Amino acid sequence: MTGNLTLLAIPLALLYLAAAGCIYRILLSYRTAQGAIAWIIALIGLPYLAVPLFLLFGRHRFGGYVKARRMGNRALTSLLDRFESQSTSIPHPGQEAFNNDLQVLSRLGRQPFTGGNHCTLLRDGEAAFEALFNAMENATHYILLEFYIVRSDRVGQRIKSILERKLAQGVQVWFLYDDIGSVALSRRWRKELSEAGARMASFGNGNIRRRRFQINFRNHRKLLICDGRVGFVGGINLGDEYLGTAMDQEPWRDTHCRVEGPAVTGLQLAWLEDWNWASAVKPELDWSPVSEPPGDEEVLILPTGPADTWETCTLFFLNCINNAHTRIWVASPYFVPDFQVMNALQLAALRGVDVRIMIPEKSDSRLIGLAAYSYLVQACQAGVGIYRYQPGFMHQKIILVDNRYAAIGTANMDNRSMRLNFEISAINTSQRFINQVDTMLTEDFGSARLMTESDYRDRSVAFRLGCRAVRLLAPLL
Distance, CA of 427 to CA of 406 (rounded, Å): 6
Angle between helix 73-85 and helix 63-71 axes, rounded to 10 deg: 70
The residue annotated as part of the active site, out of 118, 160, 222, 256, is: 222
- Is residue 362 part of the annotated active site? The answer reads no
Q: Which of 124, 227, 274, 444 is catalytic?
A: 227
Altogether, the residues listed in the chain come to a count of 477
Task: State yes or no: is 397 an active-site residue.
Answer: yes
Question: What are the residues whose beta carbons fall under 8 Å from the beta carbon of 282, sequence distance 6 or more?
Answer: 275, 276
Active-site annotation holder among 124, 179, 308, 402: 402
Contact at 8 Å (CB) between 295 and 264?
Answer: no
- CB-CB contact of 404 with 475 (8 Å): no
Q: Which of 160, 166, 220, 256 is an active site residue?
A: 220
> Which residues pair with residue 359 across a beta bridge?
388
Going by C-alpha positions, the residue among 315, 341, 319, 311 that lies closest to residue 101 is: 319
What CA–CA distance (Å, rounded) separates 94 from 91? 10
Query: 390 near 375, Cβ under 8 Å?
Result: no
Establish whether 222 is a catalytic residue: yes
Residue 117 phi/psi, 5° resolution? Answer: -100, 165
302 has which bridge partners?
425
List 179, 395, 414, 444, catalytic entry? 395
Q: What torsion do the CA atoms of 418, 423, 426, 429 make, to the nearest 10 degrees? A: 10
Annotated catalytic residue, options 118, 160, 166, 397: 397
Beta bridge partners of 200: 175
Type of residue at 54: F
Instruction: Clarify whether 220 is annotated catalytic.
Output: yes
10 Å CB burial of residue 457 (0-12, 13-18, 19+) is exposed
CA-CA distance, 477 to 473, in Å (whole number)? 6
Residue 110 DSSP SS3:
coil
Would residue 92 show up in a list of annotated catalytic residues for this protein?
no
Residues with active-site annotation: 220, 222, 227, 395, 397, 402
